[in-house]
């Protein structure tokens, strides 16, 4: 289960094609130890100091209530 997210979503950018996790390119919320799914999007989150990219798998997009709400209201930002 993904821990609750405190930072607001600034944008959700869908990748052109799913990208396997490799090197430092890992599923940010789950980590490579618990997630073997491809990365399908980049969520830009507003942290205290900056906008940070957050690489996510399909499961995160459907399990995270803020992501679900963002997509329902805005869709992807690179439509």
Q: Using the structure block, give the residue that is written with the tokens 């990748």.
A: 15
Report which of residues 60 and 1 the model is more confident about. 60
| Separation of alpha carbons 49 and 60, rounded Å | 24
Biggest CA-to-CA distance, the chain: 33
Indicate whether this model's pTM tops 0.75.
Answer: yes
pLDDT above 80: residue 76: yes
Q: Per-residue pLDDT tens for 46-68? A: 998 999 999 999 999 999 999 99
Tokens of 9: 């979503």
Q: Per-residue pLDDT tens for 12-52? A: 999 999 999 999 899 999 988 889 999 999 999 999 899 99
- Any idea what the Cα angle at residue 8 is, between residues 64 and 77, rounded to 5°? 80
The pLDDT of residue 78 is: 87
């Amino acid at each position: 289960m993904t821990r609750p997210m405190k930072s607001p979503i600034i944008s959700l950018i869908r990748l052109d094609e799913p990208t396997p996790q490799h090197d430092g390119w890992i599923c940010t919320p789950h980590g490579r130890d618990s997630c073997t799914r491809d990365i399908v999007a980049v969520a830009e989150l507003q942290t205290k100091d900056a906008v940070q990219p957050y690489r996510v798998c399909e499961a995160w997009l459907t399990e995270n209530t803020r992501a679900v709400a963002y997509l329902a209201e805005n869709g992807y930002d690179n439509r």
